[in-house]
């Protein structure tokens, strides 16, 4: 009898311990499925957008031969800085010198004829019409001398402005035809940097450009260093590209040290203010087929996925263009542990506290 009582007591104790253990596990499970939820932080901020850019010299031209002949002399070197008016190339001028001498001889002969005709006209031996004809011949001869001088001058190629030489397309002694490319010349004192801006960002720029003085931009060079001098947006093209939805901007940068060269690439960094921007942590989002989503917690505490559009990306945060309001509750952590329409328990964390813990600076 005592043995039976002992067994029953032991069984009851085990059952009690089992019940207590199960209850404890259930409590732990309830604690584990409590998620953190927050809302978008609404505040004024600034965003910096990057745009792929092409760098051009303020003047970049091709130097071509204006006359046919052999290249007699090259007075400059590739990569050399030249001054306006400096002699660069000379084409063998023998033919054009001969043409000038011939034209001058013709002009001298016609001049003598004109003087003789004038003496006869003054004595009324020849008519005034003959004198006028002699004068016309003299004018024509002088014009031909001028043309010959111009052609002779074309055998010398001079720099039209201060700039840097590119590589030669011809070599000494080459036979050159009229219009052949000799080299290119770049004026790098200032640089024009072209970049394309989407329509929505163009509208933001035009809205705030005057009041915020936002025409100043920075240039991130190919070595990931920011150029020492800021640029100014001075021109915007007239039309949008219908295929891309972009419009071209042109910023002008000073280049006192000659660091920038024609044909370089970089990224323009343009800062724009955003009023009442909605900011969320990047970790609260996930991607499906290159589209971004967040999990919304509805009034019944159920999870709903929602697509969002990102207006700007900064370290650790996204600025949301569409898809959310400041009153929406979004799942902050455990995105891979929940399912669509699943009911959850959560703890709400204030948006300002969430953002401040991301170790970033946002005005």
Question: Can you read off the two tokens belonging to residue 290?
Answer: 């290159």
Section 196-217 average pLDDT? 77
- 8 Å CB contact between 41 and 278: yes
What H or E segment, with its residue span, contains residue 272?
strand 265-281
Q: What is the pLDDT of residue 28?
A: 46
Both tokens of 6, joined, read 């002992």
Burial of 89 per CB tally in 10 Å (0-12, 13-18, 19+) = buried
- Residues of the chain with pLDDT > 90, as a percent, come to 37
What CA–CA distance (Å, rounded) separates 87 from 79?
15
Q: What is the largest CA-CA distance in the chain?
A: 174
- For residue 82, report the phi and psi dihedrals to the nearest 5 degrees: -120, 155
Specify whether the CB–CB gap between 70 and 175 falls below 8 A: yes
- Residue 84 makes CB contacts below 8 A (sequence gap 6+) with 159, 160, 161, 162
pLDDT of 142-200, one tens digit each? 888 787 777 776 788 899 999 999 999 989 888 888 889 999 999 999 999 999 998 88
Distance between CA 233 and CA 363 in Å, rounded? 24
Whole-angstrom distance, CA of residue 71 vs CA of residue 89? 7
Q: How many CA atoms lie within 13 A of 302 on its CB side?
A: 5
Orientation angle between helical segments 94-122 and 128-153, nearest 10 degrees = 160
Task: Supply 162's token pair.
Answer: 């201060």
pLDDT digits (tens, 9 = 90+) for 66-107: 888 888 899 999 999 999 999 999 888 667 766 777 878 887
Structural domains of the chain in order of their starting residue, each with its CATH number? 35-45+276-359 (2.40.420.20), 49-58+189-274 (2.40.30.170), 67-178 (1.10.287.470)
pLDDT mean across residues, the chain: 83
Distance between the two ends of the chain, CA-based, in angstroms? 81
Cα angle 356, 357, 360 (rounded to 5 degrees) comes to 65
Buried b (16+ CB within 10 A) or exposed e, 233-267: beeeeeebeeeeebbbbbbbbebeeeebebebebb
* Residue 30, C-beta contacts closer than 8 angstroms, at least 6 positions apart: 345
Question: For the segment 286-343, what is each residue's pLDDT rounded down to a tens digit?
Answer: 998 889 999 999 989 999 999 999 888 888 888 898 899 989 999 988 888 888 899 8
DSSP string, 127-177: -HHHHHHHHHHHHHHHHHHHHHHHHHHTTEEE-SSSEEE---SS-TT-EE-
Confidence category of residue 359, pLDDT binned at 50, 70, 90: low
Report the pLDDT value the prediction gives residue 53, as an integer from 0 to 100: 95
R_g of the chain, CA atoms, integer Å: 41
């Amino acid at each position: 009898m005592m043995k039976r009582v002992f067994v029953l007591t032991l069984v009851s104790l085990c059952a009690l311990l089992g019940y207590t253990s199960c209850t404890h596990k259930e409590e732990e499970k309830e604690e584990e499925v409590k998620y953190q939820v927050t809302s978008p932080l609404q505040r004024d901020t600034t965003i910096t957008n990057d745009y792929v850019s092409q760098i051009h010299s303020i003047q970049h031209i091709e130097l071509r031969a204006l006359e046919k002949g052999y290249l007699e002399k090259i007075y400059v070197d590739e990569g050399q800085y030249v001054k306006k008016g400096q002699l660069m190339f000379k084409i063998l001028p023998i033919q054009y010198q001969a043409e000038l001498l011939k034209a001058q001889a013709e002009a001298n002969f016609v001049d003598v004829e004109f003087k003789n005709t004038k003496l006869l006209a003054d004595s009324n031996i020849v008519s005034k019409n003959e004198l006028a004809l002699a004068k016309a011949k003299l004018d024509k001869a002088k014009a031909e001398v001028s043309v010959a001088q111009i052609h002779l001058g074309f055998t010398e190629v001079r720099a039209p402005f201060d700039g840097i030489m590119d590589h030669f397309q011809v070599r000494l002694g080459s036979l050159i035809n009229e219009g052949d490319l000799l080299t290119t010349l770049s004026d790098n004192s200032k640089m024009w940097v072209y970049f394309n801006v989407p329509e929505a960002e163009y509208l933001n720029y035009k809205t705030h450009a005057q009041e915020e003085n936002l025409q100043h931009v920075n240039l991130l060079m190919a070595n990931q260093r920011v150029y020492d001098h800021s640029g100014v947006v001075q021109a915007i093209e007239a039309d949008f590209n219908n295929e891309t939805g972009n419009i071209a901007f042109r910023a002008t940068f000073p280049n006192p040290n000659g660091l920038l060269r024609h044909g370089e690439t970089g990224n323009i960094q343009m800062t724009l203010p955003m009023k009442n921007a909605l900011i969320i942590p990047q970790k609260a989002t996930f991607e499906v087929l290159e589209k971004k989503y967040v999990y919304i917690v509805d009034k019944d505490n159920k999870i709903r996925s929602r697509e969002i559009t990102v207006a700007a990306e900064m370290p650790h945060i996204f600025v949301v263009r569409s898809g959310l309001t400041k009153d929406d509750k979004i799942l902050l952590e455990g995105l891979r542990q929940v399912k669509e329409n699943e009911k959850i328990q959560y703890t709400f964390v204030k948006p300002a506290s969430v953002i401040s813990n991301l170790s970033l600076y946002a005005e």
